[in-house]
Amino acid sequence: MLSKNLSRMLQNIDTKVSLLLEAGKFEGYSIKTLRDKLNVEWIYNSNAIEGNTLTLAQTKVVLEGITIGGKSLREHLEVINHKEAIEYIEQIVKDKEELSEWQIKNIHAIVLKGIDDKNAGVYRKENVFISGAKHIPPDYLLVPEQMHEFIEWYKTEGLELHPVIRAAKVHADFVKIHPFVDGNGRTARLLMNFELLKNGYPIAVIEKSERYKYYEALDMAHTTNDYEKFFKLIIRSIEKTLNYYIKILGVKKEV
């Protein structure tokens, strides 16, 4: 059961989405420019959260095919791979494909391509710890079973949730399992945005400046089963994206 505050926040999000749909101006150069801008910000922030030192401007330059002196090959590949992963999820949204373990492995394989090919798209064979978190991911022997249960939940109970809540929970519960040796955070944010895009919502960009709040909210969800703080963080991120769209489209009606 969602709190009244969360329900109000979701209602506000849905009102803004409806307003944009009624405006019916999702095509054109301005919208393409906005989507490109948001994708660059998504790539930059998602990588920066994990320690990539490329700036937003440098990330954009790397996406244009230019190498940045003094930066590692890995940092360059993280940008290039993330762009490819976004293009991949956009295509499977277009093809109306469902989330599955196979698709999750495909997305993760793109994230780690050329960085750690041995572990790309392969469930971990060792135990891991999350730096700074109280939560300890399950033993690696339990990962296949828990991932199967995760997808079963997604196909059953998950369908009963509001799409935004489902997307946020997909992110949080995936990270809780931490099925891969590396790249779990980036993959989780890709999975969340896949779910949002599939259901007609804009992407949520978790900003580097919110890294502490983000990790804190995730750890709270994992250790106490209280997801509210994390849900609110995701909803605020979606609303920020919606406000970009409203501004660009010139929608005048207040919401």
CA–CA separation, 243 vs 98, rounded Å?
A: 28
Those residues whose C-beta lies under 8 Å from the C-beta of residue 127, and which sit 6 or more positions away, are: 137, 139, 140
Question: What are the tokens at 130?
Answer: 């999350």
**Known active-site residue 178:** yes
Task: State whether residue 96 is helix, strand or coil.
Answer: coil
End-to-end CA distance of the chain: 25
Residues 6+ apart with CB under 8 A from 116: 181, 182, 183
Q: SS3 of 182, please?
A: coil
Positions annotated as catalytic residues are: 178
